[in-house]
């Protein structure tokens, strides 16, 4: 059964740092992988979708990479800001399962 693990579970950093959030999955036979952001009490907002033929996607200060052979995806956040504080989740889009997330706090 597919399992999705996110490390670290929580992260607290000062503003300006470059961050790395990790997502690993046990079944490498996935199609696409998606990263989300969730603010407290809200739904999930899609950040990046990496399709099976791609190795990475970029949007502004965010960059996500995908290595299906090793069962890993990484989300890079450059020059973090307090507004980036949220929980970040990853999910293979065809497996119906989500990681438990990384709770990020960026302080001024």
Give residues in contact with another protein (CB under 8 A): 31-32, 34, 36, 41-46, 49, 51, 89, 91, 93-94, 96-101
By beta-carbon proximity to another protein, the closer residue of 12 and 42 is 42
Angle subtended at Cα 19 by Cα 92 and Cα 10, rounded to the nearest 5 degrees: 70
Strand pairing class (19-25; 72-77) = antiparallel
- Tell the smallest beta-carbon distance from residue 8 to another protein (Å): 15
* Helix segments in 1-108, DSSP class H: none
- Tell the smallest beta-carbon distance from residue 29 to another protein (Å): 13
Q: Which residues pair with 25 in a beta bridge?
A: 4
- Find, among 48, 40, 52, the residue nearest to 95 by Cα: 52
Q: Which residues pair with 21 in a beta bridge?
A: 75
- Tell the smallest beta-carbon distance from residue 48 to another protein (Å): 9
């Amino acid at each position: 059964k597919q399992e999705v693990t996110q490390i670290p579970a929580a992260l607290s950093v000062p503003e300006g740092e470059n961050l790395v959030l990790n997502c690993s999955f046990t079944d490498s036979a996935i199609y696409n992988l998606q990263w989300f952001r969730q603010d407290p009490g809200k739904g999930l907002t899609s950040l990046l979708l990496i399709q099976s033929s791609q190795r990475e996607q970029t949007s502004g200060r965010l960059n996500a990479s995908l290595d299906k052979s090793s069962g890993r995806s990484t989300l890079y956040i450059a020059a973090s800001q307090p507004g980036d504080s949220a929980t970040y989740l990853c999910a293979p889009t065809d497996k119906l399962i989500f990681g438990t997330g990384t709770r990020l706090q960026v302080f001024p």
